[in-house]
Structure 1
């Protein structure tokens, strides 16, 4: 998993699974310490598991309680289906379309 930061955007590439959750969690919470709005760009994520989605949902919930926002960008069909199957779609904010550059 490649994890990069571009301003208040966390860009993930590769397989986001239980092996990379600690790394992503750490960077995500560091971003939330510095920004009220954080975007997690999943465009380059080849696969994701439920553990990884739970990390994003927990961060989103905690941010919301603090008046902050975490938004997911670039969710492919498989990610969206998993969000719906796990009911985590109720907890996370998902962009409908990637932002224009």
Structure 2
């Protein structure tokens, strides 16, 4: 997992799974501490698992409670499907822009 940042955007590259949740959690919460609205860009994520998505859902809920906002961008069909199957779609905000397949 590679994490890059640009302003309030956190870009994830590679496999986002249980092995990378600690570093992603730290990056997201650091950005939420510095910005009112953080975007997590998943466009370059090749593999994702439920544990990883739960990290983003908890961060989203925490941000909402603190008056901040977290949006997921670049969610491909597999990520969207997993969000729907797990019902985490109810907790996270998705950027509705189309993602190339």
After TM superposition, is the score higher than 0.5? yes
* Alpha-carbon distance in 2 for matches of 1:32, 1:70: 8
**TM-score, length-normalised on structure 2?**
0.96
Q: Distance in 1 between matches of 2:23 and 2:79?
A: 20
Q: Residue 81 of structure 1 corresponds to which residue in structure 2?
A: 81
SS at match of 1:23: helix
Partner of 2:69: 69
3-state SS in 2 of match to 1:67: coil
Q: List runs of 5+ in structure 1 lacking aligned partners.
A: none
Q: Following TM superposition, by how much is the alpha carbon of 1:69 offset from its aligned partner in structure 2, in angstroms? A: 0.4
For the pair 1:92 / 2:92, whether they are aligned, the reply is: yes
Pairwise CA RMSD:
0.7
Alignment partners' CA distance in 2, 1:13 and 1:76:
13
Q: TM-score, normalised by structure 1?
A: 0.96
Q: Which runs of 5+ in 2 are unaligned?
A: none
| Number of equivalenced pairs | 98
Equivalent residues in 2 for 1:22-33 (5 A)? Answer: 22-33=22-33
